Copies of this chain bind each other. A is one copy, B any other.
Amino acid sequence: MPDPRFFDRLGPFALREVASVAEAALTADANSDQQFEDVAPLGTAGPKHISFLDNPKYLGAFRKTQAGACFVSPDHAKQVPKGCIAIITPTPYRAFARAAGMYYPLGQLIDMPSGGNPIDPTARLGRDCTIGAGTVIGPNVEIGESTRIGPNVFIERGVVIGRDCIIHDSVTVSHALIGDRVELHSGVRIGQDGFGFAQDPPGYVSVPQLGRVIIGDDVKIGANTTVDRGAGPDTRIGDHCRIDNLVQIAHNVELGRGCVLAAQVGISGSTKIGDYVVMGGQVGIAGHLSVASGVTLAGKSGVTHDLREPGAYGGFPAIPIREWRTQVVRLRRLTKKREMNDG
């Protein structure tokens, strides 16, 4: 279940209410008065939780789910496991998004310190912390010893920051657990909700992003870089990672230990990066991929498929760098030859 340090849950709600907000249908035999306490993925949901099946690749998990109720399309309604109530809708992901929004409404996202103080009285600051002017620290924040925070920073409720960190000015941190000796440069944004939504014509409905950002020890993050919190799982940045300016790390991304990301790199959602992976500037990596430990990506390369072997890669789509260099040379030669032939 979502970390209560960061998320307040409303409810419980009766199945009838949930189905109504989600614009989904109950079968005649469903107990529409039954109360549900939370939403959860198929794999972790329990009897008091509502889940969903959208992508048929999760049919296996669906058949074994402990969820008490589940949004499903009419096609799959009959396959609902025993003890689980089918809530029927042609758009299960959208229905789930709406139901999740009942339990975790988006409007709660900015929790200010109480009583007009810049630092909430429930925040716990370690010995020898320094806090700059204009910095706002929300409820239940914990900051370790000797951590220094510049001016005009916003640390939102429940965030934990370790010791001997340097948080420069104008940084935002929410929904995050941060290790020791971490440095966040000016303008870094950690923990905002990622790019998660379902089609809900004429627009979209946001899927509440219920994960966190977990940052290890000895990590440095460059100016104006953004790290979204997880959608349900967490976004993770391993110990000793070095991330340059203007980098984008999407929700659920995992970086192993000691990765080095040069400026303007972008990593799309749910991609897993191994240890000591090095990326040149402006590299882009598509979502839901794996990149093996020890991979090096030349600047501006674009990764569109898993990279399972360590080594150097380049180009777009990224291929082994030696092959890419050959391609560049040959393409140029080929073009010139044909120019002569045509000329």
Copies of the protein in its oligomer: 3
With contacts A166-B110, A248-B245, A335-B326 taken as known, whether A133 is within 8 angstroms of B118 at the C-beta atoms is: yes
Q: Chain B residues with Cβ under 8 A from A220's Cβ?
A: 206
Give the residue name and chain of the B residue nearest to A319 (CB).
Answer: B332
Which of A20-28, A81-89, A184-192 lies at the interface with chain B?
A: A184-192
Q: Does A222 contact B (CB under 8 A)?
A: yes
Give the residue name and chain of the B residue nearest to A218 (CB).
Answer: B203
Q: Does A157 contact B (CB under 8 A)?
A: no
Inter-chain CA distance A328–B222, complex, in Å, is 34
Q: Per-position contact with B for A216-230: 1 when CB-CB < 8 Å, else 0?
A: 001010111010100
CB distance B281 to A263 under 8 Å? no
**Which of A239, A257, A304 gathers most chain B CB within 10 Å?**
A304
How distant is A330 from chain B, measured CB to nearest CB, in Å? 5
Q: Does A302 contact B (CB under 8 A)?
A: yes
Q: Chain B residues with Cβ under 8 A from A332's Cβ?
A: 319, 323, 327
Q: Does A331 contact B (CB under 8 A)?
A: yes
Q: Chain B residues with Cβ under 8 A from A189's Cβ?
A: 185-187, 223-224, 245
**Which of A151, A244, A323, A326 gathers most chain B CB within 10 Å?**
A151
**Which of A262, A266, A326 gathers most chain B CB within 10 Å?**
A266
Give the residue name and chain of the B residue nearest to A152 (CB).
Answer: B152
Q: Does A116 contact B (CB under 8 A)?
A: yes
Q: Does A168 contact B (CB under 8 A)?
A: yes
Q: What band does the interface of chain A fall in when counting residues whose beta carbon is under 8 Å from B?
A: 35 or more
Q: Chain B residues with Cβ under 8 A from A260's Cβ?
A: 204
Give the residue name and chain of the B residue nearest to A148 (CB).
Answer: B110
Please name 14 further chain A to chain B contacts, defined as beta carbons within 8 Å, in addition to the given A109-B168, A112-B130, sorted by A numbering: A134-B136, A154-B170, A172-B187, A172-B223, A186-B189, A202-B257, A202-B258, A203-B240, A246-B266, A248-B281, A264-B284, A268-B281, A282-B284, A316-B316
Q: Chain B residues with Cβ under 8 A from A183's Cβ?
A: 106
With contacts A154-B152, A223-B189, A242-B197 taken as known, whether A284 is within 8 angstroms of B257 at the C-beta atoms is: no
With contacts A226-B222, A284-B299 taken as known, whether A202 is within 8 angstroms of B239 at the C-beta atoms is: yes
Q: Chain B residues with Cβ under 8 A from A336's Cβ?
A: 323
